[in-house]
């Protein structure tokens, strides 16, 4: 029986085949990335992978990696990364992505831009013809006058709100910032234009649009696991294997 969990595990297992001894790895955050880190830790403990160094994108990922014995360093200590392995909340045909519902988008993006390759692992439910159709866009914002920033975001989207814990307190990221979520009833018409507007707004620290960043996508579905690769700026990916 196929479940989201089994599909996530299949994608993470295929990503493990991309890892080579001596790699400097960015370790993503979220449910699928957690499975990958667990598999990586098992391979490390069994000696199937050697001499790797991990740079985590969240404190939660860091704690998991340490518990598995994976050697960790900070990004400044490592410098350039060979590969980042991370998940995504939604992926468009051109590899544009919404990320950040795992609450770590700012660190994920910082780590990703310092990597030679960015590999994303998802199950087929994360594929979408247009970004914003199935998930809200998370935006990491400064706590000062956060209500004003959320009101401005609501003017860009069909709806926006401050993301809060169940007890009503604002979610606080590892960076000490807040998160807002923005909904678009018909998806995001022009993700690149929206990304530019968000980047220019004081009070917005970072947004969850990851555009023209990933070069490898591993998709697990009921018909198997697909590996798609693309060069940055390309309009279509190349399916390498099924």
Sign of CA dihedral 23, 26, 31, 37: positive
What is the per-residue burial (b if ≥16 Cβ within 10 Å, else e) of 62-94?
A: bebbeebebebeebeebeebbbbbbbbbbbbeb
Distance (Å, rounded) from C-alpha 5 to C-alpha 11? 10
Tokens of 110: 């910082």
Q: Tokens 């990503």 label which residue?
A: 15
Q: For 168-236, give the DSSP string.
A: SPBPB-TTS-EEEEEE-TT--S-HHHHHHHHHTSTTEEEESEE-S---EEEEEETTEEEEEE--TT-SS
User: Sheet of 159-162: strands edge to edge?
Assistant: 159-162, 178-183, 137-141, 204-207
Q: Is 124 a catalytic residue?
A: no
Residue pair 23/83 in contact (Cβ under 8 Å)? The answer is yes
How many Cβ atoms from other residues are within 10 Å of residue 60's Cβ? Answer: 18
Among candidate residues 5, 18, 59, 108, the one labeled active-site is 108
Residue pair 28/115 in contact (Cβ under 8 Å)? The answer is no
Q: Active-site residues: which are they?
A: 108
């Amino acid at each position: 029986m196929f479940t989201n969990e089994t599909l996530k595990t299949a994608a993470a297992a295929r990503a493990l085949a991309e890892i080579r001894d001596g790699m400097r790895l960015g370790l993503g955050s979220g449910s699928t990335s957690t499975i990958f880190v667990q598999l990586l830790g098992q391979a490390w403990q069994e000696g199937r992978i050697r001499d790797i160094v991990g740079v985590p994108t969240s404190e939660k990922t860091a704690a998991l990696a340490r518990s598995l014995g994976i050697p960790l360093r900070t990004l400044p200590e490592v410098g350039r990364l060979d590969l980042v392995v991370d998940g995504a909340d939604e992926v468009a045909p051109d590899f544009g992505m919404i990320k950040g519902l795992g609450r770590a988008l700012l660190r994920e993006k910082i780590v990703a831009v310092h990597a030679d390759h960015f590999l994303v692992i998802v199950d087929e439910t994360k594929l979408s013809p247009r970004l914003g159709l199935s998930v809200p866009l998370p935006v990491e914002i400064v706590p000062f006058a956060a209500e004003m920033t959320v009101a401005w975001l609501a003017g860009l989207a069909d709806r926006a709100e401050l993301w809060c814990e169940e007890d009503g307190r604002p979610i606080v990221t590892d960076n000490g910032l807040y998160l807002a979520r923005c909904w678009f009833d018909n998806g995001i018409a022009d993700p690149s234009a929206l990304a530019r507007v968000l980047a220019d707004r004081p009070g917005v620290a970072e947004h969850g649009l990851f555009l023209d960043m990933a070069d490898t996508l591993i998709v697990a579905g009921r018909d198997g696991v697909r590996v798609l690769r693309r060069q940055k700026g390309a309009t279509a990916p190349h399916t390498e294997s099924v």
